[in-house]
Amino acid sequence: MTTPRPALLVLADGSVFRGRAFGAHGERAGEVVFNTAMTGYQEIATDPSYAGQIVCMTYPHIGNYGTNEDDSESAKPWIEGMIVRELSPVASNFRSTEDLESWYARTGVLGIEGLDTRRLTRRLRVDGAINGVLSSVDLDEASLLAKAKALPSMDGMDLASTVTCDASYTWDELWPAEWSQLPDDLRAEGDDGRPLKIVAMDFGAKRNILRSLATFGLMPTVVPASTSAEEILALEPDGIFLSNGPGDPAAVTYAVETIRGLLGKRPMFGICLGHQLMALAAGAKTYKLKFGHRGANHPVREHATGRIEITSQNHGFVVDAESLEGTGFQPTHTNLNDMTNAGIASQAQQAFGVQYHPEAAPGPHDAQHLFLRFRRLIQGAALPV
């Protein structure tokens, strides 16, 4: 039996949480946030949108189905650390190839278990996300508090440039049929089924977003976040996709300028950070939420249809809906938990974006049809605004 290793989490406000370390050994620092999903810990760990963050899982029992190569959203974990109430001592699933602790030890992720995650989550909900330090090597509270107070704020921080790809590449991998509830036939009236060429700007793109695009016949060429509008248009795409990613959208000024130069020239679809960058390019504003939206059970209402979808979300910033006035974009979706903006669209610019993750990894499949909406937009269909 492995000897328990003590670990300590100290927040910048002086809050102290003691527990047991698992996975890697060392010290990690970042913004402490919480996620309400019951499953999907591997996708969360490898989602580039979590760069710079220590994630507290509110579901008390984590790790019971292990890990596998297929469920990773990128080549490595991006989280700074993970906080759980109880790490499962058993990994039991036919797809599992490695337990969570072994995977974290191999990939360099420091975890802590055995602390009161309910107390921590209530602290984050009441007072907001806050910086913290997680350590299994330095167990001195005063030392860790000083380190936590010295951490920079994520406000104004461009993290997209740290997670984007180094060079362009093509993607043609599809969703395995048994993983998804996709339509059997894409050939609606006026659709000949041919693949459409998409340029995907990578601000921290998840693999399953790229899989979803390809499965709907939208074959992406992925380009770095710093790619110019001229370089993108030179690729002669049928449409342009703006990916998810971490950090403050207002800090990614180079991408905002690029998107401004692309709006109206090709049909465009943005997810999460890409949605926010589209809004900024149109002249709207964004702001930071108190504790963000992170989970797989967020209800969203589409204004045009009244349809309610349960969605997967992961973001700390949102579009200011009132600032859309005069931009040519309209709010199209609302988060029913706090009534913040969850989608925008402009028929004139042939562009739309959503503040959630329709690729359903992890999460429900309710919004997966938005990839088909993007395909139909490219083929000349109107947006439901």
Residues designated catalytic: 272, 357, 359
Give the relative orientation of helices 207-215 and 369-378 as an angle to the nearest 10 degrees.
60
Which sign does the torsion angle of CA 161, 166, 169, 171 carry? Answer: negative
Contact between residue 268 and residue 10 where contact means Cβ atoms under 8 Å apart: no
At residue 142, φ and ψ (nearest 5 deg) are -65, -40
Per DSSP, helices labelled H in the chain are 41-46, 100-107, 117-127, 141-150, 160-163, 207-215, 229-234, 253-260, 273-282, 369-378
Contact between residue 4 and residue 18 where contact means Cβ atoms under 8 Å apart: no
Vertex 102, ends 98 and 108: CA angle to 5°?
A: 125
What gap in Å lies between CA 136 and CA 41, rounded to an integer? 21
What gap in Å lies between CA 194 and CA 188, rounded to an integer? 12
Instruction: Give residue 90's identity as a one-letter amino acid code.
Output: V
Contact between residue 299 and residue 342 where contact means Cβ atoms under 8 Å apart: no
Contact between residue 335 and residue 293 where contact means Cβ atoms under 8 Å apart: yes
Nearest to 32 by CA among 161, 123, 157: 123
Q: Which two tokens stand for residue 53?
A: 């963050």
Q: How many residues does the chain have?
A: 385
| 295 φψ region: left (φ > 0), alpha (ψ -120 to 50), beta (else) | left
One-character DSSP codes across 7-20: EEEEETTS-EEEEE
